[in-house]
């Protein structure tokens, strides 16, 4: 197939159900459900009195063992969802019959500079078209009936940079808006608006300035922003600010609200030596959908040194505040505060901490500007910072229930040690340019003795060290008063990686998945568990609900992945039963869910080959350093049940082909990119030498465990290091 038909796997041959919504049908028209992205449904057919009868209506396997994060959309009786890397599927919403599937032709080299797996967070549907952003940055408009490509456009403006696309497009009037990812690499963030009918470029707004030495900025807003950066900033690293998620169109104001990503590199002294707030990173930027000009901005984390993206999903609603009805945006981003902002002006109406926060002492209620705490200045030495880089909140959608007046969602109270390793920080093209090392507080006590003595001493002297020892982390689903930040109730989850999106309904239900494989239904008023269905698949995405043919359905995507995706927690269903990506759809009086089969018992790591002649301890140490600095560890966690191969368990044939795999792209069709533009043959050999050494140690350890009758996969230290 060629031209406009490329990528369409199957076309509907029978009559399409796209004939308009039937009376009584209730649609779910965007990943957020409604114009305000509240993830709330008015449906009450499924309620506390009958929810115990919930069972499987139908399911579809999506042909992947990688992350599924999207919330489906239901329009005109068709359920649309995106899958891994921007695949799109259309199903009859009542029967599950597949109508068509689309697979974009992805350049797998993009896996080199994707921080957090091959994620995609949804489609936009309007006027008989389905819009999706593929992982490599192409935006597609598909015919909603057939999946045929109507138009496509490359949204990446500079292919020399480590850019990708993982967020859902947003319909904003007569344009469709798409953001980009890459702030941990060397991206300069921006959002782009395209004509919905033709794909023609209408406007582009950069969220960080260009190097002022190269000439004038794109617009007056960037002229103002560049004054908040040192002219001698590390412009070669791109500056960051990528809006990889959290784009919301406000129909009342005509503004596109854009959440921007972290600054790059992390350390302010490295990034902008003379300081500055560094606009517009870690901000909400409001852009006129017609003109592309900024109306207002609010920077949630000035001088960001902690990876505090402002890209968590936003909710648009109305609240009575100080006796006035205000159009507000509710936002709980990574930085640990819960905000209510005026949608028309960006004024901070409320800002309250909801987890431990030590990067800021408070937020000035008049100006909205945080008072930064020097105790979190990583440029001055190692610091334990709360919240951690995964954030108090992240991409996992929360929900606002107008009946209870509460916000519901997953919350993480965890910190991490952050420090800048010694040595120069050259720009790595399309490589990690964070310039910092991270260790989560869950691992810090175990990891501390392995760190250099001076780092150990600095950590033990930090006031936050006592907090870490008393409570390294807490994760839960919460109901929160959005104006006070007060937790009304909370339900603990299995661990810090057990975070999932949330759906609420007018029946008083809170519905979410778990990494342990359950679809859970809670009482919205108390948090009491009403029912739980074991699916055998880890669930991270937010469920949605719709009614078609007089029946209410609940749908959710299930598969593990996302940030830190190779490190599958031992309590995850994906660890026990693999990671078969599925779309699961439930209804009252449905049937049982067929669980994926358990994975076979873990075997002792096979013996590695002998080291090549001339391999020394220095070569092995250099290979270890390259493994972490180049970025191998982001995909290969070296964990027994990792989604990606555990390179400590390589077979002889893999060892024999190591150079061809790494330098020549032997496994590129399977998603393993080639690295010959970054690594020389000697570098690849050094990495291989370290892996051979690691495999020998793992095998010896596992043989000893086997002899003692201990499980081979007993927990081991996993230090997330990205410098």
pLDDT of 717 higher than 70: no
If one counts every other C-beta atom within 10 angstroms of the C-beta of residue 293, the result is 12
Residue 443 counted as domain residue:
no
What is the span of the domain harbouring residue 695?
Answer: 617-708
Average confidence (pLDDT) over 74-95: 98
The fraction of the chain above a pLDDT of 90, given in percent, is: 87
Average confidence (pLDDT) over 157-164: 95
Lowest mean pLDDT among 8-17, 227-236, 367-376, 668-677: 8-17
- Phi-psi map region of 640: left, alpha, beta (phi>0 left; psi -120 to 50 alpha): alpha
Residue 351 counted as domain residue:
no
pLDDT tens digit sequence for 499-538 = 999 999 999 999 999 999 999 999 999 999 999 999 999 9
Q: Which residue has the higher pLDDT, 105 or 22?
A: 105
Distance, CA of 486 to CA of 294 (rounded, Å): 33
Chain centroid, CA 330 distance in Å: 19
pLDDT tens digit sequence for 610-638 = 999 999 999 999 999 899 888 888 888 77
Distance, CA of 161 to CA of 621 (rounded, Å): 29
Band (419; pLDDT cuts 50, 70, 90) = very high
248: number of CA atoms within 13 Å, CB side? Answer: 29
pLDDT tens digit sequence for 687-701 = 999 999 999 999 999
pLDDT tens digit sequence for 240-255 = 999 999 899 999 999 9
Residue 643 counted as domain residue:
yes
Residue 159 counted as domain residue:
yes
In this prediction, residue 698 carries a pLDDT of 93
Nearest to 149 by CA among 311, 28, 26, 4: 4
Tokens, residue 568: 């599958």
Question: Which CATH number characterizes residue 125's domain?
Answer: 2.40.10.480
Distance, CA of 350 to CA of 565 (rounded, Å): 34
Report, as residue numbers or ranges, the catalytic residues. 307
Domain count, the chain: 2
Question: Which CATH number characterizes residue 698's domain?
Answer: 1.10.760.10
Residue 644 counted as domain residue:
yes
Lowest mean pLDDT among 177-181, 275-279, 711-715: 711-715
pLDDT tens digit sequence for 586-615 = 999 999 999 999 999 999 999 999 999 999
Tokens, residue 624: 């270890």
Distance, CA of 553 to CA of 498 (rounded, Å): 24
Residue 108 counted as domain residue:
yes
Answer whether 500's CB lies under 8 Å from 523's CB: no
In this prediction, residue 567 carries a pLDDT of 83
In this prediction, residue 2 carries a pLDDT of 32
Of 205, 235, 261, which residue is a domain's last? 205
Lookup result for tokens 């519905």: 511
Band (20; pLDDT cuts 50, 70, 90) = low
Residue 551 counted as domain residue:
no
- Full-model pTM: 0.94
Average confidence (pLDDT) over 291-317: 98
The rounded mean pLDDT for the chain is 93
Of 186, 205, 224, which residue is a domain's last? 205
Of 205, 227, 262, which residue is a domain's last? 205
Average confidence (pLDDT) over 425-451: 92
Q: Output the DSSP codes for 225-255.
A: HHTTS-TTS-GGG--B----S-EEEETTTTE
Tokens, residue 73: 């959309």
pLDDT tens digit sequence for 184-197 = 999 999 999 999 99
Residue 184 counted as domain residue:
yes
Q: What is the DSSP letter of 668?
A: G
pLDDT tens digit sequence for 360-403 = 999 999 999 999 999 999 999 999 999 999 999 999 999 999 99
In this prediction, residue 3 carries a pLDDT of 32
């Amino acid at each position: 197939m060629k031209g406009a038909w490329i990528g369409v796997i199957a076309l509907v041959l029978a009559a399409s159900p796209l004939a308009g919504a039937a009376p009584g049908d209730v649609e779910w028209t965007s990943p957020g459900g409604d114009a305000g992205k509240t993830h709330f449904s008015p449906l009450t057919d499924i309620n506390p009195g009958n929810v115990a009868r919930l069972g499987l209506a139908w399911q579809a396997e999506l042909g992947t063992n990688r992350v599924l994060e999207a919330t489906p959309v239901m329009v005109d009786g068709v359920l649309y969802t995106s899958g891994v890397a921007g695949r799109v599927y259309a199903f009859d919403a009542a029967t599950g019959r597949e109508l068509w599937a689309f697979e974009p032709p992805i350049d797998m080299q993009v896996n080199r500079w994707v921080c957090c797996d091959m994620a995609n967070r949804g489609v936009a549907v309007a006027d008989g078209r389905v819009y999706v952003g593929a992982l490599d940055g192409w935006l597609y408009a598909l015919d909603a009936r057939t999946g045929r490509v109507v138009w496509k456009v490359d949204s990446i403006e500079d292919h020399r940079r480590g850019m990708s696309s993982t967020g859902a497009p947003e319909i904003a009037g007569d344009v469709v808006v798409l953001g980009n990812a890459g702030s941990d690499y060397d991206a300069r963030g921006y959002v782009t608006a395209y004509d919905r009918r033709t794909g023609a470029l209408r406007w582009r707004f950069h969220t960080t300035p260009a190097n002022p030495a190269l000439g004038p900025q794109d617009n007056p807003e960037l002229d103002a922003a560049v004054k908040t950066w040192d002219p001698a900033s590390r412009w070669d690293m791109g500056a960051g600010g990528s809006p990889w998620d959290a784009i919301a169109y406000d129909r009342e104001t005509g503004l596109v609200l854009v959440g921007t990503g972290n600054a790059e590199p992390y350390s302010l002294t490295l990034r902008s030596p003379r300081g500055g707030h560094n606009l517009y990173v870690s901000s909400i930027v409001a852009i006129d959908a017609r003109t592309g000009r900024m109306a207002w901005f609010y920077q949630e984390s000035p001088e960001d040194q902690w990876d505090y993206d402002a890209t968590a999903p936003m909710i648009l609603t109305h609240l009575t505040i100080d006796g006035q009805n205000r159009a507000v945006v509710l936002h709980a981003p990574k930085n640990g505060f819960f905000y209510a902002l005026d949608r028309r002006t960006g004024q901070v109406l409320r800002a309250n901490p909801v987890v431990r926060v030590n990067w800021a002492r408070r937020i000035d209620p008049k100006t909205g500007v945080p008072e930064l705490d020097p105790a979190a200045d990583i440029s001055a030495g190692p610091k334990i910072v709360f919240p951690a880089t995964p954030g108090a909140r992240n991409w996992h959608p929360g929900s606002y229930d107008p009946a209870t007046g509460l916000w519901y969602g997953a919350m993480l109270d965890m910190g991490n040690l952050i420090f800048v390793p010694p040595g120069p920080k050259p720009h790595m093209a399309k490589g990690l340019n964070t310039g910092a090392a991270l260790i989560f507080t869950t691992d810090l006590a175990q990891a501390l003795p392995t760190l250099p003595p001076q780092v150990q001493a600095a950590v033990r002297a930090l006031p936050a060290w006592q907090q870490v020892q008393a409570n390294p982390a807490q994760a839960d689903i919460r109901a929160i008063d959005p104006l006070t930040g007060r937790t009304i109730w909370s339900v603990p989850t299995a661990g810090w990686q057990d975070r999932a999106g949330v759906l609420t309904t007018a029946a008083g239900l809170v519905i979410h998945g778990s990494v342990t494989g359950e679809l859970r239904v809670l009482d919205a008023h108390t948090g009491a568990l009403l029912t739980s269905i074991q699916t055998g698949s880890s669930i991270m995405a937010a469920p949605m609900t719709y009614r078609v043919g007089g029946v209410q359905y609940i749908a959710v995507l299930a598969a593990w992945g996302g940030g830190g995706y190779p490190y599958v927690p031992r309590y995850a269903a994906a660890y026990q039963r693999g990671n078969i990506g599925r779309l699961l759809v439930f209804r009252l009086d449905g049937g049982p869910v067929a669980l994926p089969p358990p994975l076979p018992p873990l075997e002792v790591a096979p013996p590695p080959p002998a080291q090549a002649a001339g391999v020394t301890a220095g070569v092995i140490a250099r290979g270890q350093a390259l493994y972490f600095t180049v970025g191998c560890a982001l995909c290969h966690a070296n964990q027994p049940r990792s989604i990606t191969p555990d390179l400590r368990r390589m077979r002889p044939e893999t060892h024999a082909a190591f150079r061809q795999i790494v330098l020549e792209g032997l496994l590129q069709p399977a998603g393993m990119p080639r690295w010959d533009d970054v690594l020389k043959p000697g570098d690849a050999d050094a990495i291989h030498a370290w892996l051979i050494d690691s495999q020998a140690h793992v095998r010896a350890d596992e043989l000893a465990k086997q002899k003692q009758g201990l499980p081979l996969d007993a927990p081991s230290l996993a230090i997330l290091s990205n410098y």
